[in-house]
Amino acid sequence: MRGRNVPGAVVSAFCVILIAACASTPGSGSAGGKPARLSGKTDGENAADVSTVSSTNGGGTPLTVPSREELSRNEGEAAVVSRLERGTPESIREAVNLVRQDSKGMTDRNRVFLALAGELMKILYPLEPVDWQLPSIPDGNPWLQAVRSSRMGVYDYNTGNADFLARVLPSLVLVISPTSVDFYPEAAKALEDAAVRNPSSVLPPLFRGMIAERSESPVAAAAWYRKAWTADSGCYPAGEGLVRTLIASKDGAGAFTVAKALSGDYPGAMQMTKLCAQASFAAANWDACDPYVLTVLKAEPANSVYLLMRARILVERKDYLKANSLLDAYATVDKTNRDYLILKARVMREWNKNLVSAIGILEDADRRYPGDPDIMLAAAALSYQTGKTVNGAGGKDFVNRVLAGDPRNPQALALLANDYILSSAWTDALAVTSTLLAVDQAPESLSIRLRALLGSQSWGEALSLSKRLYDSERDSENAVSWRLEALIGSGDRAGASALIASRLDGASAGLKSRLYYYKGGLETDPDAQLAALRSSLLADPRNVDSLFATYRWYYARKDWRKAQYYLKQVLAISPGNGEYAKLLAELDELLAQ
């Protein structure tokens, strides 16, 4: 059983009764039947003797002794109230059981207790059953009047704040309806006072969390919700609020941890399934998210929100065919939704390779939703890729707009860092990636930082970070390549050769192509260099690094025709690279001579 907290008002009344009992019990405080002595103001050491008769004749009121039955009733009521005050499903049921066990039966007071217990359970915990009969109750009870007012969407100012429940119950309106904010200051003060009276209750922090969330203070709301949920995980509305506010604070991983715990307590509840879907989606945990989304869609096939979530998961998995089918189905309902437009542009860009159509979609999205960060980031990425503008703005224009509103936006910082890396602006790249890592430690952000370190020849940090990425992603072709670049750049050619030799056997075609590319760079004999590059291109004919290295090998030997052949292949794969275009123009001039 959880600890019991008796309300202050009940305790005070009980103490008065006990004092009265002691004061009026015959013979109490004296021996041998002598008159009792009352301490008070005297004019000497000897206090006056006061008898019962003299007290009565002096105008005082005789105090009666409460019976054992009355004392038991007061203690029983205090136990019921303390459990109602705690406000968890378990404590509410404990209060009901105590009422059921009351030998007095269904008194007016017990009817109030049962009715209030039922209202609390139905309003706060609809996933929990109300397995007791709700009695008819007399009018005028301030607790139940506060509940009635809440059900009508009104905050009840007339409870008198006489006790804990009178302070807390008016805030039930926060659960029932999206009310105005007019009463928030007074409600917060009442809840603060109530929390002092009963610190073990989950109700004040739960309602304070709701006020903070609706006041658009997700960090404060998360703290209040966490306090209530930590005090008792049975208070699942606090857990749900904690998930929502963690998502709003961009802590998707933390939100998913809480959501899974809630779903474990209520495995069949659709609202918990949706909560897990939303939290794992926010965490970009696509594998975990997919089963939850599919469960929702099985129960609600027309749920367009989850249809788009499923399409996003498929796009992230590069399952474009299925994603496109879902998007086409969604388009029959709404072609203007921002998420639909962003996803459709991604499919056109990444799968269909129709960059013109992708730009057109994002231009439409930018006009419909001006200033939307996600749309601006999508437009920036496409602009960087194509070198074309979207509604007259380039990639850096969109990135700067996003950063003006959110200087720590990780996607915008990543795009800006990549821009500096591609233009070999290493000082700027290092500065931006430093800021990026301060807000995001995802592998993608770490890899961008590593590329900046390699380009700026910051070998010490590059060696450390490349080892970290290689150890965590040994099957990643990029992680292997960056590790080799760091080893070769720092002068550890032996370490690089050993790594290549250890990974060649059984390597995939893509990885084998990269390993042979770096092997060629380590060779000192020109013929061995060319042989390694040919092996690289045999494994992957579209390896741009090997193609460009082969172009340079032939260029160094003034074999312009073969150099031109390989450079044209490089330019075909990277048509937007101006430097490659300049080199090809130079070769054309040499061949024309």
pLDDT tops 90 at residue 74: no
**Pair 509, 575 in one domain:** no
The answer on 480 and 491 residing in a single domain is yes
Whether the CB-CB separation of 172 and 126 falls below 8 Å is answered with no
The angle formed by the CA atoms of residues 258, 261 and 265, to the nearest 5 degrees, is 140
- Per-residue pLDDT tens for 546-568? 999 999 999 999 999 999 999 99
Q: What is the mean pLDDT of residues 475-489?
A: 95
Structural domain includes residue 556: yes
Task: Give pLDDT tens digits for 162-196.
Answer: 899 999 999 999 999 876 788 999 999 999 999 99
Confidence of residue 339 (pLDDT cuts 50, 70, 90): very high
Continuous H helices in 319-386: 320-331, 338-350, 355-368, 373-386
For residue 58, count other CB atoms closer than 10 A to its CB.
8
In terms of domains, do 468 and 526 share one?
A: yes
pLDDT of residue 182: 87
Amino acid at 106: M
pLDDT by residue (tens digit) across 104-157?
Answer: 888 999 999 999 999 999 999 999 999 998 888 767 889 999 999 999 999 999
- In-domain check, residue 15: no
Vertex 192 angle, CA 190 and 193, to 5° = 65
The pLDDT score that the predictor gives to residue 161 is 77
- Can you tell me the mean pLDDT for 522-547? 96
Amino acid at 497: S
pLDDT for residue 179: 66
Task: Label residue 70 by pLDDT band (50, 70, 90).
Answer: low
Q: Which residue has the tokens 């996600």?
A: 374
pLDDT tens by residue, 269-282: 999 999 999 999 99
Q: What is the pLDDT of residue 110?
A: 93
Please write the tens of the pLDDT for every residue from 340-382: 999 999 999 999 989 999 999 999 999 999 999 999 999 999 9
Please tell me the distance from the alpha carbon of residue 541 to that of residue 450, in angstroms, as a whole number. 26
Asked if residue 131 is part of any domain, the answer here is no
pLDDT of residue 434: 97
Three-state DSSP string of 232-288: CCCCHHHHHHHHHHHHHCCCHHHHHHHHHHHHHHCCCCHHHHHHHHHHHHHCCCHHH
Residue 168 CA from chain centroid, whole number: 28
Percent of the chain with pLDDT over 90: 77
At residue 66, the pLDDT reads: 53
CA dihedral 243, 244, 246, 252 (to 10 degrees): 80
CA nearest 143: which of 122, 109, 116? 116
Residues 489 and 550 in one domain: no
Other Cβ atoms less than 10 A from the Cβ of 302: the count is: 8
Would you state the structure tokens that stand for residue 587, as one six-digit string? 């070769």
Contact 191, 208 (CB under 8 A): yes
State the DSSP code for 390.
Answer: B
CA distance 588 to 543: 23
Higher pLDDT: 413 or 105? It is 413
Note the pLDDT of residue 579: 84
Domain span holding position 574: 542-593
269 and 256 Cβ atoms separated by less than 8 Å: no
Residue 574 has which token pair? Answer: 């990277």
3-state secondary structure 391-411: CCECHHHHHHHHHHHCCCCHH
**Within-domain flag for 525:** yes
How do residues 3-32 score in pLDDT, each as one tens digit? 434 444 444 444 333 333 333 333 333 333
Q: How confident is the model at residue 49 (pLDDT cuts 50, 70, 90)?
A: very low
Q: Please indicate, yes or no, whether residues 508 and 551 belong to a single structural domain of this protein.
A: no
Q: Degrees (nearest 5) of the Cα angle 542, 548, 554?
A: 120
Whether residues 463 and 497 share a domain: the answer is: yes
The dihedral through the CA atoms of 564, 565, 566, 567 has a sign that is: positive
Residue 26 CA to residue 341 CA, distance in Å, equals: 88
25 within a domain of the structure (yes/no): no
pLDDT band at 68 (very low <50, low <70, confident <90, very high): low
Structural domain contains residue 451: no
pLDDT computed for residue 106 by the predictor = 87
Convert the pLDDT of each residue in 215-266 to its tens digit.
Answer: 999 999 999 999 999 999 999 999 999 999 999 998 999 999 999 999 999 9
Cα 126 vs. chain centroid, distance in angstroms? 24
Break the chain down into helix, strand, coil percent, rounded to 5: 70, 0, 30
What's the predicted TM-score (pTM) here? 0.75
Number of Cβ atoms within 10 Å of the Cβ of 216: 9
Provide the strand spans (E) within 434-577: none
Q: Is residue 70 classed as helix, strand or coil in its secondary structure?
A: helix
Question: Does one domain contain both 531 and 549?
Answer: no
Q: Band the pLDDT of 576: cuts 50, 70, 90.
A: low
Q: What is the mean pLDDT of residues 84-112?
A: 94
As a whole number of angstroms, the distance between CA 227 and CA 214 comes to 18
* Contact (Cβ atoms closer than 8 angstroms) between residue 529 and residue 518: no
Domain boundary pick from 520, 541, 562: 541
Question: In the prediction, which pLDDT does 159 show?
Answer: 83
Position 67 scores a pLDDT of: 52
Residues 531 and 474 in one domain: yes
Q: What angle do CA 231, 235, 239 make, to 5 degrees?
A: 90
Last residue of a domain, one of 522, 541, 560: 541
Nearest alpha-carbon partner for 197 in 57, 8, 348: 8
**Same domain, residue pair 528 and 551:** no
Cα–Cα dist 496/486, whole Å: 9
Q: At 73, is the pLDDT very low, low, confident or very high (cuts 50, 70, 90)?
A: low
Q: Please tell me what DSSP assigns to residue 230.
A: H
What single letter denotes the amino acid at residue 29? G
In a domain, 548, yes or no: yes
- pLDDT value at position 32? 39
Q: What's the structural domain count of the chain? A: 2
Q: Are residues 530 and 482 in the same domain?
A: yes
The C-alpha atoms of residue 205 and residue 185 are separated, in whole angstroms, by 15
Asked if residue 379 is part of any domain, the answer here is no
Which residue has tokens 């380009």? 455
How many Cα atoms sit within 13 Å of 572 on the Cβ side? 10
Task: Provide the terminal-to-terminal Cα distance of the chain, rounded to the nearest Å.
Answer: 96
Q: What is the rounded CA–CA span in Å between residue 379 and residue 389? A: 8
Instruction: Return mean pLDDT, the chain.
Output: 88
- DSSP codes of every residue in 26-60: TTTT-STTPPPB-----SSSSPPB--HHHHHHTT-
Amino acid at 389: T
The stretch 315-343 carries a mean pLDDT of: 95
Which candidate, 354, 465, 352, 449, places its Cα nearest to that of 410? Answer: 449
